[in-house]
Amino acid sequence: MEPWLQPLAVEQARRICVSFQRWTGRSLLPNPAEDDLELAEQLFHWSQPVLSHGSGAEPILNYGNQAALTLWECPWTEWVQLPSRFTAEPMAQAERAALLAEAARQGYASNYSGIRISRTGRRFRIDNACIWTVLDGAGNPVGQAATFDHWQFL
């Protein structure tokens, strides 16, 4: 089964898109579908990486579209078990944590740039990243998501 067809992935795709719209006032995807399954497919196949993690002391990744999975060189089955801090090198984790805290306080943070690392150790710089708080249907925070439109391998 394609990852985006899993019920939790479909639900998370909707949450990601709705939450982005709430915090930024704009749509994450160009021409987003109204149907949840179609929206999940659109988000999964979008060319811009999108990833999210849950909440808690050690947030675990719970969504990555195909662009994110490819960039981080990680299959879905491993991705959704990975603590999100491992998407950054140890020396960049404090900076990443500060950005996530800012996004939690304000709902979102934008124009972030930083170094990330793939599962195989390949380093890359992300630019123009936006991080936002993901909300459930009742408006409660359930994690954070990120997207960016430019990256360069180092």
Domain containing residue 61: 3-153
151 vs 154: CA distance, rounded Å: 10
53 vs 83: CA distance, rounded Å: 8
Average pLDDT over residues 123-128: 94
* CA distances (Å), origin 117, targets 61, 72, 111, 143: 15, 7, 19, 21
CATH number for 53? 3.30.450.20
Between 51 and 97, the higher pLDDT residue: 51
Q: With beta carbons less than 8 A apart as the criterion, state whether 43 and 20 touch.
A: no
Between 56 and 21, the higher pLDDT residue: 21
Q: Share the mean pLDDT of the chain.
A: 93
Q: With beta carbons less than 8 A apart as the criterion, state whether 16 and 43 touch.
A: yes
Residue 1 pLDDT grade (very low, low, confident, very high; cuts 50, 70, 90): confident
123 vs 104: CA distance, rounded Å: 26
Q: CA triplet 19, 40, 15: central angle to 5 degrees? A: 20
Average pLDDT over residues 78-82: 97
pLDDT digits (tens, 9 = 90+) for 82-112: 999 999 877 677 777 777 788 888 899 898 8
Can you give the pLDDT at residue 105? Answer: 85
- How many structural domains compose the chain? 1
Q: Give me the percent of the chain exceeding a pLDDT of 70.
A: 99
Question: Which of 24, 3, 1 has its CA nearest to residue 12?
Answer: 3
